[in-house]
Amino acid sequence: MYKVIRAFEDRDKREYEVGDEYPHKDAKKATNARLKALSSTDNKYKKIYIEEVKTKTEEE
């Protein structure tokens, strides 16, 4: 699961605010390339927009 740390609008014009889960439950599944771009500075704006959040089951 990923959490939004900088507000942005995705390619489908869906707005994400800080604290939102990414991708939205009604959105298409995000590709690995898209997750990498949003979770690093490897994107057009050179900013990080999401961070991975480990759930309890993932940590165990």
CA distance 53 to 60: 14
pLDDT of residue 60: 62
| Predicted pLDDT at 4 | 99
- Number of structural domains in the chain: 1
Domain membership of residue 53 as a residue range? 2-59
3-state secondary structure of 57: helix
A 10 A CB-CB count for 6 gives 14
The 10s digit of each residue's pLDDT in 17-58 is: 999 999 999 988 999 999 999 999 999 999 999 999 987 776
